[in-house]
Amino acid sequence: TIEDDPNLTDKKFPGNPTKSYRSREPLRVIGELTEWEGHDPELLNSMKAQIERLRELGVEAIDE
């Protein structure tokens, strides 16, 4: 069963843009990621700036 965690799913940002969920039971690993290309530095800086803007606006994580 996948839990609808308000900090990860669509309670704070409708549509669940991160596609994140939590499970009540352990999940089975069925594969391993062997190649991964991270976000470019420009995108990371943009993400960090957005988090800072949200902090300045007083937006905090929902923790119900």
Domain that holds residue 14: 2-27+36-56
Query: Would residue 64 count as lying in a domain?
Result: no
Write down the pTM of the prediction.
0.45
In a domain, 41, yes or no: yes
Does residue 42 sit within a domain?
Answer: yes
In a domain, 63, yes or no: no
Residue 19 counted as domain residue:
yes
Q: What φ, ψ does residue 10 adopt, rounded to 5°? A: -90, 20
Select the more confidently predicted residue: 32 or 1: 32
Whether 62 maps to a domain, the answer reads: no
Whether the CB-CB separation of 20 and 3 falls below 8 Å is answered with: no
The pLDDT of residue 9: 54
One-character DSSP codes across 2-43: EE--TTTSTTTSTT-TT---EESSPPPP--------PPPHHH
pLDDT (0 to 100) of residue 6:
62
Q: Which amino acid makes up residue 37? A: E
Total domain count, the chain: 1
pLDDT tens sequence across 3-56: 566 665 555 656 656 666 667 777 788 999 899 899 999 999 999 999 899 889
